[in-house]
Amino acid sequence: MGEQLRLMAVHAHPDDESSKGAATMAKYVAEGVDVLVVTCTGGERGSVLNPKLDRPDVWENMATLRREEMERARAILGVRQEWLGFVDSGFPEGDPLPPLPEGCFGLEPVEKAAAPLVKVMREFRPHVVTTYDEDGGYPHPDHVMCHKVSVAAFEAAGDPERYPDLGEPWQPLKLYYHMGFSRARTTALHEAMLAAGLESPYAEWLAKWDPARDKGHRVTTRVPCGEYFEVRDDALRAHATQVDPDGSWFRVPLEIQRETWPTEDYELARCLVERSDPEDDLFAGVRESVCA
């Protein structure tokens, strides 16, 4: 039968795992892959984005609530989960932007912040790792730092001279970046909603879209996972403080999503096995060596 395949998804905050790549993870769990979500921060400085929960008691207990929400989402997805223990930086707003709070994840030296992730990589021994691109998917300082730390750990985990006290070296074989918000996908869903006689949640977004920032051309890998979109949405709703159940995340009916864009999309950023783009499997080139 060969070795069990292992997938590690590195995210900045609790809830990110459910809005980025959740259907992919649910698909691989169903296929017998061991999946571990690594959450860099506790989300302590997150906002309450569900108007039904915008109350003082929720704000006062944010750290505890977000851990409880993460546990519910983890169970829905069927994954394992580890906390790295860093403190949420919050999302700076204003002009000029205020400085980040002392001691937060976004201000950690990359070499230091990568250490606990190297340790988890060497313990879990993933074949494939997913994370964010150099812009963090969007410019939250924790997302950008998550990218930096993930790349640094991917490159260090297999080197016996790096972090020698953090376990036996292990080199993951592939590193992917989430590419979920391409203009092509957004346009396709927008047009499908209009064709169905429904109001699209993407009209304003598309009107303001900067073509120079579109990364659709970077997609190398489209994982078919439409049958797991409902699991994805259930996991996201488990993060009750972070998502409005009546909001735009859930306005496109699942049947339209499955018919229009039934994949979650990625860029293969590092590859240590033979590659053949385009792909439809994060483990392409890995299965042949691991499961032989």
**Backbone phi, psi, residue 85, to 5°:** 95, 10
143 is in an annotated binding site: yes
Q: Note the helical H segments in 196-286.
A: 203-207, 229-238, 254-260
Euclidean distance between CA atoms 67 and 14, whole angstroms? 7
What are the DSSP E strand ranges found in the chain? 6-11, 34-41, 80-86, 128-131, 174-178, 221-224, 263-271
Euclidean distance between CA atoms 104 and 108, whole angstroms? 7
Euclidean distance between CA atoms 198 and 194, whole angstroms? 5
13 is in an annotated binding site: yes
Would the CA dihedral through 208, 211, 213, 218 be positive or negative?
A: positive
Closest CA to 260 of 194, 170, 212, 168: 194
16 is in an annotated binding site: yes
- Name the binding residues for Zn(2+): 13, 16, 143
- Name the binding residues: 13, 16, 143
